[in-house]
Amino acid sequence: MIDRDLLRIHAMVKSVLCAVSFLALPAAAMAQDAKRPNILWLTFEDTSAYEIGCYGNPDVKTPNMDRLAREGVRFTRAWSNGVQCSPSRSTLISGNYATTFGTDIHRQARPVPAELFGFPRFLKQAGYYTTNNAKTDYNTSNLDRNAVWSGSSKTASYNDPARRKSQPFFSVFNASMTHMSRLTSFTTDGRRDFAKEGLDPAKLHLPPHVPDLPEVRSDYAFHLEGVEDVDRWVGLFLDDLEKQGLLENTIIFVFSDHGGCLPRGKGFALQSGLQVPLIVWFPPKWKHLAGAIEPGKPCDRLVGFVDLAPTVLSLAGIEPPATMRGQALFGSYAKDVKPRDVNFGFTANREDNFSPARAITDGDFLYVRNYIPRRPLALRNFFQWGMPANLAWDTAFLQNRLSKPEHRAPFAATPVEQLFDLRSDPFNIRDLAADPKYADTRKRLAERLDATLRETGDLGFFPRDARDRGKEDLYSWVRRVKYPVERLHAAAARAAFARPEDLPQFVADLSAPQREIRYWAANGLAELAVRGELKEVPEGLEKAAVAPEDDIASVANEALVHLGRADEAIPRLLKHLDEGSDEAHAVLETLSLDPRYRDTLRRFRPELEKLATSQGRTKRSALSVLANIGEFPPIQIYADNLKRGSKVNSQRRPLVPHPQTGQAGDDSSD
């Protein structure tokens, strides 16, 4: 693997040197200006493909995107690869999956190998004017923005005076009109009458994966209002490009950064979290660069965010570096590219809950593997639970008011394997993984997923606190020390599929020198214990329960709870929670959603109530456990935040950034 990486880096350096030598001839570069297209990315946030008019949504009006889709290429099988902002953007900016670098944990910026990130640098070196307005949520701590962008700010634009009149540009603009933060009001009190905008909540066509509750309908109407605002925003750029005489020379990409705001969308490795709208429009002058993908027709080719960096370079006539995992879809270097046969998706965490999952699709079927299956999908994420829809769904479950099994399922343990037929079940309601008729399909996709993990060097199985290597990035450290990555993959899979015959290996791995191997061994024991397949405390588990690493200790104590040792294990978990442990939070909330342990946790009500008087994460976690065991309704967890609800509900965000005046915000709250 190291030799291959060195070859790729060599090829990349060669590409850079070619670009630099090109820049040494400014006259030649200027002569090329007219022969290279402008490229514009109009990105927006938190929106699934099904929420756009040209993707079949009957409730929303998106005439500008519809027009671009009619005249351009509308991808019907586009994935964001990541399911949250920062891992998705880490993938976009590198042309590699964020999991390859360990930048897949949302909002955990880490060092990265600089030579493998920031693809616009190649455009800039080749004479392009590169701008970003203004989100730089790449999950990196060391990216040199000045090397990547000619301008990166709230005013950056292709209209910057510094751009030569004929100089080609690559410009990125990000709109936040659909960002989930516009819905995090905790209550629907004071919301506008969306029916006046033609978005009557009572008449909307809700997708089947969410329950039909008034708050869900209100949030959906609020979100679709934002979608219509985004469409008007896209229109501003079409008008400006035409006014500036640039439209005939500009290729336009329009896409969302991951799935939508409705519950079980953003943050979840399912179709609702992964499938995004992606439209690429070519002016007549540049339609030949579309190659075999014919504009004016929908395209069912599998495509992911990992493909967009090499595609932009190819459109600009720059050979994509061999280090990029993605494939060029258009341009000079797309001719001989064989279309990918699968899309790959991933998630690492939902706020404080580390619960990695991987997904793969061949376009017809979606296979998902959940690596800590005992953890429900509905463990609370404080930010997302600011949406009234999530709180209402939560409350309806705790009050036993959900009639459909698919609406109760997120609050129970998640199957280790899930399989969905996307042709008949695009919202992933009917899990076919256990159906013998689909055994061959499940096996085929599972094997392909394992191969993808190996091929991409997936580092996402390092738990959150095991990734810090000082100033050295994890990707480089793994190669320098010749870390056994495939052993880590095997340890995580063994824990996910935990079988009684794996017990000796779990016990042996509890003493492994690598912290992350010990972590997955503890998880394997917890999986056996929760299913009642571990009859006694195995050797090493008690020692792990008092380990200095809080993640290992928390999981080991979780196993002890299932083995009848709650009286000693829960106080230790509460201590870790008091110290700010993410893992203890996930363990305690998982236990509190299990009816078998609610009475047990009620015995610790005084301790939980004391923690609930603290601050921040510890307070929220303690309140969350208390709500789950029936001490008060979930809305009370957020009592301190209700005052800001009326302000959120009254806001309609401006159509920014504007191509002329800019002034975008960097909405990076989640």
Residues 384-418 have pLDDT tens digits of 999 999 999 999 999 999 999 999 999 999 999 99
pLDDT digits (tens, 9 = 90+) for 582-606: 999 999 999 999 999 999 999 999 9
Average pLDDT in the 152-176 region? 97
Task: Please determine, for residue 509, whether its predicted confidence score (pLDDT) is greater than 70.
Answer: yes
Write down the pLDDT at residue 25.
35
Write down the pLDDT at residue 388.
97
Average pLDDT in the 246-268 region? 98
Write down the pLDDT at residue 198.
95
pLDDT digits (tens, 9 = 90+) for 329-377: 999 999 889 999 999 999 999 998 999 999 999 999 999 999 999 999 9
Which residue is it, tokens 């191509």?
Answer: 659
CA distance 376 to 217: 24
Instruction: Kindly report whether the peptide bond that precedes residue 134 is cis, defined as omega within 30 degrees of 0.
Output: yes
Average pLDDT in the 524-550 region? 97
Crossing angle (nearest 10°) for helices 550-562 and 566-578: 150
In Å, what is the CA distance from 639 to each residue of 185, 508, 597? 12, 46, 26
Task: Please determine, for residue 545, whether its predicted confidence score (pLDDT) is greater than 60.
Answer: yes
List the one residue out of 457, 477, 481, 453 whose CA is nearest residue 467. 477
> What's the mean per-residue pLDDT of the chain?
94
Read off the DSSP letter of residue 337.
P
CA distance 370 to 602: 29
Which residue is it, tokens 């905790």?
Answer: 186
Tell me the one-letter amino acid at 125: Q
Q: Report residue 43: phi and psi, to 5°.
A: -110, 145
Write down the pLDDT at residue 32.
60
Write down the pLDDT at residue 255.
98
Write down the pLDDT at residue 31.
52
- Per cent of the chain over pLDDT 90 is 90
Write down the pLDDT at residue 7.
38
CA distance 491 to 489: 5
Write down the pLDDT at residue 663.
81
Q: What is the CA radius of gyration of the chain?
A: 25
pLDDT digits (tens, 9 = 90+) for 37-48: 999 999 999 999
Average pLDDT in the 114-122 region? 97
Band of the pLDDT at 475, cuts 50, 70, 90? Answer: very high
- Could you tell me which residue, 531 or 8, shows the higher pLDDT? 531
List the one residue out of 292, 302, 311, 321 whose CA is nearest residue 253. 311
pLDDT digits (tens, 9 = 90+) for 267-287: 999 999 999 999 999 999 999
Write down the pLDDT at residue 241.
98
Average pLDDT in the 560-570 region? 98
Write down the pLDDT at residue 667.
59
Average pLDDT in the 555-574 region? 98
pLDDT digits (tens, 9 = 90+) for 659-669: 998 886 665 56
Dihedral angle, C-alpha 229, 233, 238, 244, nearest 10 °:
150
CA distance from start to end of the chain = 34
Write down the pLDDT at residue 35.
87
**Positive or negative: CA dihedral 190, 195, 198, 202:** positive
Buried b (16+ CB within 10 A) or exposed e, 627-655: bbbebeebbebbeebeeebeebbeeebee
pTM score, whole prediction: 0.95
Of 14-23, 234-243, 444-453, the one with minimum mean pLDDT is: 14-23
- Residues 523, 531 contacting (CB under 8 angstroms): no
Task: Please determine, for residue 458, whether its predicted confidence score (pLDDT) is greater than 70.
Answer: yes
- Could you tell me which residue, 404 or 197, shows the higher pLDDT? 404
Write down the pLDDT at residue 665.
62
Task: Please determine, for residue 61, whether its predicted confidence score (pLDDT) is greater than 60.
Answer: yes
- Per cent of the chain over pLDDT 70 is 94
Average pLDDT in the 449-466 region? 97
- Residues 22, 126 contacting (CB under 8 angstroms): yes
Read off the DSSP letter of residue 110.
B
Instruction: Kindly report whether the peptide bond that precedes residue 657 is cis, defined as omega within 30 degrees of 0.
Output: yes
Band of the pLDDT at 113, cuts 50, 70, 90? Answer: very high
Which residue is it, tokens 């000693």?
Answer: 568
